[in-house]
Structure 1
């Protein structure tokens, strides 16, 4: 992809030549009773730290060859972080300016890395429907139009994205396994990795290799309703106000033989096990992909070889998936054993599968008042056509008698929102939660594995009631 290379000597002409040729590492301790061989392809060893370096290089080269990106130009991308990082590193080495638009839920580490490469970072709310002026792509396209000499990479619809994986990732896996690979597993985000790699492996094996997509439970790729999830850089979110759901052109669903739907909590448990038992510190979407690979491998025999892509490193997510404060506040599995009671221990009688009592975002003030009744406050959640679990990240704010005082009955409730209620998770140590929420009086949302399952009058009050019983 980059012309003449001296890779074999260990001396390279540019950072671009260091992309690819990542190793496969066999899983040995987390496989339990699995008989198949499972290899993880360590894409975090690319110089930009992720599998997206491949697509970034492919897209840059294609744009240069087509004359769409000229010397002194600006690279613009909408990204959850990794593609932006790959583009920023390569653009810096090639003399381009980089502008990256990221959703507000991206880890702090990724934003810091982007800025370290000189990228200009624009943050926009993640909960926006397609075509909304604050949607990730809308902001990126506006900036492209405003900046002279700007080129929009557009990874979701850029054919150079899957082409890069067909040219590099697929052949590497085939050669590394000596053609023995029987199953290929990857997460589906833009679809470039699974499409390009899957197409090559199917062609090389005369259709024998099965391609398995790994997808968050609520992602629409695997049949979910599009509710948000917490593992970054995988899946397809669907805002309920999106008029027409368009899937990326980089994703070719016909390449995929099946999809394994993985809950966030399962992905996080796998991450923690992989770090402690295999010595691999991996990113969130790697947990989703490896959980899907292990699930697939349990159905296979000793002659089967499963290869799963680990897109990036856990170093970019230390503030999230390896941070007990973040994990506990959302009710996810912690990395360490808790000494003393958790929030879940003291807030008794919770139905952890229950739907949250809440006000839908499409309600009127009159409807909100009925739902609120005589209670102190209720969360306002992103309205969907069907009932189902409320993800904490989809809570938009709150309503109370105070916020609705004097509001016209026909007004949309969204015009009278108060701040979101504070939340704590069932796995959070009680003392930590009390310290974190110190000074707050009033209702608190209880979360379990990222889902809001209850609103309680107050954590301190609930703790006192528990102690007196």
Structure 2
């Protein structure tokens, strides 16, 4: 990407490279910038590991951390911030890996031939994570030119847009996932869907657990996206004849995830490791029901007024309300928010909830371990939703957890 830019005269000596990255492309650009004497500014989301941020800073880059849970066109997103900086900083260049044809072209010219030669042309299936699409698009095109019978399988985390689009042709709604480096909430032009034969979905949990198992069992130290790729490849391999040859692409090293994937405490807090306390969300809900503390879920709609939300809170003696659009949780409105708006002199009867609501309360499945709920309540939210199935939700707070613990103590007595 940089060579092409230099040949076009778009990047001059002493210039600044600006890019939004989840890690690998930023590292590559940092290496090139250091050798060629360019300054660097990278935008990165707050879900990326501390190791990645520190690594980029180690090469002398300025790193700007942006929120993950915002829409791509939000001015705070790492896409938008990178574009803004590119407009404002003189003699700068924004490679934009999501819309740069040299991204898949690099893999077509290098990675694809390497895989073909190292497998002696015997490869039958290529399994690869889908992020910008550069790797899978470039490698997939090269391999299919060599042998059209080769199958190219993409790996996509639950929460990304790709899987639903490939399977149904519909553009769904992206939601937050934890694994880094794969999946997207946009459709980059560098993702060439025509090379795909299939897409497999993976969960955050299987990505992380398979990565850890690779380290312990095979001596392969990769990140969560590599774990997801191997998980998909193993499932595929079980269906193939003995002469099938699957190549799974592992894009980075576990050294970048020591504080996350390879930290037992981090994994346990988020429910990815088996719990030391055999309690899950459904157990806490059951205790709440037995205590007779369950009440009908009170909700508001995005089109209703803030005054309506305030009136509902006063009637029900609650301090926050979930905002539902049909059966989907789209936001939350808090008592403190409304108080601040009133003190600012805003007309609560004219303000619509959609314009002021905060992000939705976190959601966990009914089998989520209690450590996961405790972590969310301690660090992120005053309450969490438990997805019970069939469109039914329960809401849990610290008070509910304390009630469950109290019941356990009584049982021990």
Same fold (TM over 0.5): yes
CA contact (8 A) 2:123 2:244 kept: yes
Q: Deviations over 1:217-266 (max 9, x none)?
A: 2321111531221111111216xxxxxxxx21111100111111112222
Which one of 118, 123, 140 corresponds to residue 176 of structure 1?
118
Aligned to 1:404: 338
Count of aligned pairs between the two proteins: 381
Residue aligning to 2:384 = 445
Q: Deviations over 1:161-212 (max 9, x none)?
A: 001101111111111111010000111110100000000111111x011100
Decide which of 249, 258, 263 is 2:203's aligned counterpart: 263
Counterpart-to-counterpart distance in 2, 1:159 and 1:275? 34
In 2, distance between residues paired with 1:138 and 1:157?
A: 14
The separation in 2 between residues aligned to 1:340 and 1:134, in whole angstroms, is 39
User: For the residues of structure 2 that align with 1:86 and 1:454, how far apart are their CA atoms?
Assistant: 46
- Give the 3 Å change call, closer, same or farther, for CA 292–424 of structure 1 in structure 2: closer
1:96 aligns with 2:38: yes
Q: Which of 349, 366, 385 matches 2:286?
A: 349
CA distances 1:121-143 after superposition (whole Å, capped 9, x unpaired): 11222233343322322211221
- Tell me what 1:209 maps to: 150
Looking at structure 1, the residues matched to 146 and 326 of structure 2 have their Cα atoms a distance apart, in angstroms, of 43
Q: Relative to 1, partners in 2 of residues 1:424 and 1:308: Cα closer, same or farther, differing over 3 Å?
A: closer
- Name the SS of the counterpart of 1:77 in structure 2: strand
Q: Does 1:237 align with 2:189?
A: no
Pair 398,97 (structure 1): closer, same or farther in 2 beyond 3 Å:
same
Contact 1:359-1:378 within 8 A present in 2 as well: no
After superposition, give the CA deviation of every residue in 1:9-59 in whole Å (9 maximum; x if it has no partner). Answer: xxxxxxxxxxxxxxxxxxxxxxxxxxxxxxxxxxxxxxxxxxxxxxxxxx1
RMSD: 3.6
Contact between 2:43 and 2:65, CA under 8 Å: does it hold in 1? Answer: yes
Aligned to 2:237: 297
SS state at 2:249 partner: strand
Provide the secondary structure at the position in 1 that maps to 2:98.
coil
Contact 1:77 1:84 in 2 (8 A): yes
TM-score by length of 1: 0.71
User: Structure 1 residue 338: deviation in Å?
Assistant: 4.4
Deviations along 1:101-120, whole A, 9 cap, x unmatched? 11222211111111111001
> In the alignment, is the contact (CA less than 8 A) between 1:445 and 1:453 conserved in 2?
no
Equivalent positions of 1:446-461 (< 5 A) are 454-457=394-397, 458=399, 459-461=401-403
**Which is richer in helix?**
2
Q: Is the 8 A contact 1:343 1:427 kept in 2?
A: yes
Does 1:191 find its partner at 2:133? Answer: yes
| Matching residue within 221, 224, 242 for 2:162 | 221
- What is aligned with 1:161? 103
| Uncovered stretches (5+) of structure 1, i.e. residues with no partner | 1-58, 239-246
State the Cα distance separating 1:447 from its structure 2 match: 6.9
Q: Is the 8 A contact 1:342 1:428 kept in 2?
A: yes
Q: CA deviation at 1:269?
A: 2.5
Q: What SS does the corresponding residue of 2:207 show, helix, strand or coil?
A: helix
* Contact 2:269–2:371 (8 Å) recurs in 1: no
Give the direction of change, closer, same or farther, for the CA distance of 1:237–1:380 in structure 2 (3 Å limit). Answer: farther
Q: Which moved more, 1:155-164 or 1:285-294?
A: 285-294
Question: 2:259 aligns to what?
Answer: 319
- 2:246 & 2:159 partners in 1: Cα distance? 25
**Conserved? CA contact 1:446–1:454, under 8 Å:** yes
Separation (CA, whole Å) in 1 of partners of 2:257 and 2:332 = 26
Structure 1 pair 387–117 and aligned structure 2 pair: CA distance change class (3 A):
farther
- The 2-side partners of 1:365 and 1:277 are apart by 56
Task: Give the one of 115, 120, 135 matched to 2:77.
Answer: 135
Whether the 8 Å contact between 1:397 and 1:419 is mirrored in structure 2 is yes
Q: Any residues of structure 2 matched to 1:314-393 within 5 Å, and which? A: 314-330=254-270, 332-334=271-273, 338-342=275-279, 344=281, 347-349=284-286, 364-366=305-307, 368-369=309-310, 374=316, 376-378=318-320, 387-388=327-328
Contact kept, 8 Å, 2:43 with 2:66, in 1: the verdict is: yes
In structure 1, C-alpha distance between the alignment counterparts of 2:35 and 2:322, rounded to whole Å: 46
CA distance in 2, matches of 1:280, 1:428: 31
**In 1, Cα distance between the equivalents of 2:72 and 2:142?**
32
Of residues 213, 216, 224 in structure 2, which corresponds to 1:273?
213
